[in-house]
Structure formats: C-alpha cells, structure tokens
C-alpha cells in the first residue's frame, strides 16, 4: 500500500501548529520555556532535526503529552521517510536491470 506523502508530517510541524502558534508564542519564547536554544527548536520545527528523548521530556513537561507520545510521532515520521527512500532506491536499482 502506498502512503500519501502529505500524511507524513514532521513532529516539529505538529509542535508548532498545535502547541506554539495557538499559545501565541514565538520560537524564542518557546525555546526559553523548553530551556533550549532558539536554533535547536527552529531546526526541529523546520523538520531539519529530530526530537530526541531529552527534548521529548522537555516538551512533555512544558506543553503536555507524554514523552513517549512525542517520540512515537518522531519514530512514525522517520519510519515513513525511510520507507519512501527504500522504495525509491529499490525502483532506481531495478530500473537499470
């Protein structure tokens, strides 16, 4: 079964759209609450970095949801992305044979 790309949303986008934006927080404000750098949070929100267990604990403590919930969202995103890459690589290798 092929999964539609738009269904695979990076956890940082969820954090921004469902938590940070509704609370009218800037990235700087949210990073202070999370006791992390603005750059670190910006990379997560822009899908350039993953949520680590440490960050999942921080998000859980500050904004709610369990750390396990945040990590499962990240793992689901990572697995779907790896699956897409795997299928692309498989198609590329088979198309030359």
Domain 9-95 has CATH 3.40.1080.10: no
pLDDT level of residue 3 (50, 70, 90 thresholds): very low
Q: pLDDT tens-digit profile of 38-70?
A: 999 999 999 999 999 999 999 999 999 999 999
Report the helix count and the strand count for the chain, using DSSP H and E. Answer: 5, 0
Per-residue burial over 56-68, b if 16 or more Cβ lie within 10 Å, else e, is bbbbbeebeeebe
Q: What percent of the chain has pLDDT over 70?
A: 87
Question: Could you tell me the two tokens for 63?
Answer: 């904004």
Task: Give domain limits for the chain.
Answer: 9-95
Q: Roughly what angle, to the nearest 10 degrees, separates helices 53-63 and 67-95?
A: 140
Dist CA 38 CA 44 (whole Å):
10
Q: pLDDT tens-digit profile of 72-81?
A: 999 999 999 9
What pTM value is reported for the model?
0.81
């Amino acid at each position: 079964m092929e999964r539609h790309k738009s269904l695979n949303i990076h956890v940082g986008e969820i954090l921004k759209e469902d938590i940070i934006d509704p609370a009218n927080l800037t990235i700087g404000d949210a990073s202070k609450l999370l006791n992390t750098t603005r750059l670190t949070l910006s990379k997560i929100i822009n899908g350039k970095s993953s949520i680590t267990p440490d960050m999942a604990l921080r998000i859980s403590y500050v904004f709610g949801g369990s750390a396990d919930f945040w990590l499962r969202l990240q793992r689901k995103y990572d697995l779907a992305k790896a699956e897409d890459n795997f299928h692309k690589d498989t198609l590329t290798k088979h198309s030359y044979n």
